[in-house]
C-alpha cells in the first residue's frame, strides 16, 4: 500500500471511530471526537467534519434500518405542526431533520425570530407543549448576538430545540461547519411541499440521494 492509500485508509478509520463516539454519545462535538479517535488509534491524522458526518450517516443506516426513515417523516411532520403554531415568528427548520440525516439521537431544530421569548412561550403554553428548560447563549455561532434556546419534549418522545433570534437577523446567512454550504433550512411552505412530494428528501451539497427507492412508504 502506497503512502497516499495508507493515509486515506487511516483517515477513514479515524472518521469511523469518531463517528462511533458521537453515535454512542461518548462525545458531543466533532472536534473532540476526532481528537479522541486519533489518540485511540495512535495516529495524528484528523479527518474533516464531512468525512465524520458521512461515517455517522453510514453507522445510522447500519444500526437503524428503515426505522430511521419512518422517524424522519414523523419528525418532519412534528416540526411542521410546531412551525404552524409559531407562524407569526417566521420559523425555519434546520439541523439534521432539515438535512434528512437524522439518527437515533437527533432532535428537531427550529429557528424563530422575535425580540423576546414571552410571546413564543405563550404560544407554546396554549398548545400544552412541555417545556423542559430555557437557556440563553451569549452569542450565536455566526456572531449574531444573544440567542434564547427553548427545549421541548413531545408526546412521541422526540425533543425540540427552538432557537430565538432577533428579527433583524432573519436574512443573515450562516455557513455550515460540516458541509460548508449556507444553512438555508425550510420555511413552513417549503416543508409542507417536501412532506407532500418527497418526505425523505435530503438537503446536502454532495451525494444527494433519494431514499424513497430503499424505503417503501
Q: Is 182:173 a contact under the CB 8 Å cutoff?
A: yes
pLDDT at 130: 86
pTM: 0.87
Residue 147: count other Cβ atoms within 10 Å of its Cβ.
19
Compute φ and ψ for 135, nearest 5 degrees.
-130, 150
Q: Enter the C-alpha cell of residue 78.
A: 412534528
For the chain, which domains are there?
3-64 (no CATH), 67-204 (3.30.460.10)
pLDDT at 114: 93
Q: In whole angstroms, what is the distance from residue 104 CA to residue 120 CA?
A: 28
Q: In whole angstroms, what is the distance from residue 101 CA to residue 69 CA?
A: 9
Q: What is the mean pLDDT of each run of 10 residues along the chain (217 residues)?
A: 69 96 96 96 93 96 95 98 96 97 97 93 89 82 73 94 92 90 95 97 72 38
Amino acid at each position: 500500500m502506497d503512502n497516499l492509500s495508507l493515509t486515506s485508509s487511516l483517515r477513514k478509520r479515524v472518521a469511523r471511530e469518531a463517528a462511533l463516539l458521537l453515535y454512542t454519545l461518548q462525545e458531543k462535538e466533532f472536534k473532540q471526537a476526532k481528537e479522541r479517535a486519533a489518540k485511540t488509534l495512535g495516529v495524528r491524522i484528523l479527518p474533516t467534519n464531512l468525512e465524520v458526518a458521512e461515517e455517522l450517516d453510514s453507522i445510522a443506516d447500519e444500526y437503524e434500518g428503515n426505522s430511521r426513515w419512518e422517524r424522519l417523516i414523523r419528525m418532519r411532520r412534528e416540526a411542521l405542526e410546531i412551525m404552524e403554531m409559531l407562524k407569526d415568528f417566521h420559523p425555519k427548520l434546520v439541523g439534521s431533520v432539515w438535512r434528512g440525516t437524522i439518527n437515533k439521537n437527533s432532535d428537531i431544530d427550529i429557528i424563530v425570530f422575535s425580540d423576546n421569548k414571552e410571546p413564543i412561550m405563550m404560544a407554546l403554553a396554549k398548545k400544552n407543549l412541555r417545556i423542559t428548560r430555557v437557556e440563553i447563549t451569549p452569542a450565536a455561532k455566526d456572531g449574531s448576538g444573544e440567542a434564547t434556546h427553548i427545549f421541548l419534549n413531545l408526546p412521541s418522545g422526540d425533543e425540540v430545540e427552538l432557537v430565538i433570534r432577533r428579527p433583524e437577523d432573519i436574512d443573515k446567512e450562516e455557513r455550515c461547519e460540516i458541509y460548508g454550504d449556507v444553512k438555508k433550512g425550510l420555511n413552513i411552505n417549503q416543508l409542507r411541499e417536501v412532506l407532500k412530494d418527497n418526505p425523505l428528501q435530503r438537503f446536502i451539497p454532495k451525494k444527494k440521494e433519494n431514499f424513497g427507492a430503499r424505503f417503501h412508504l
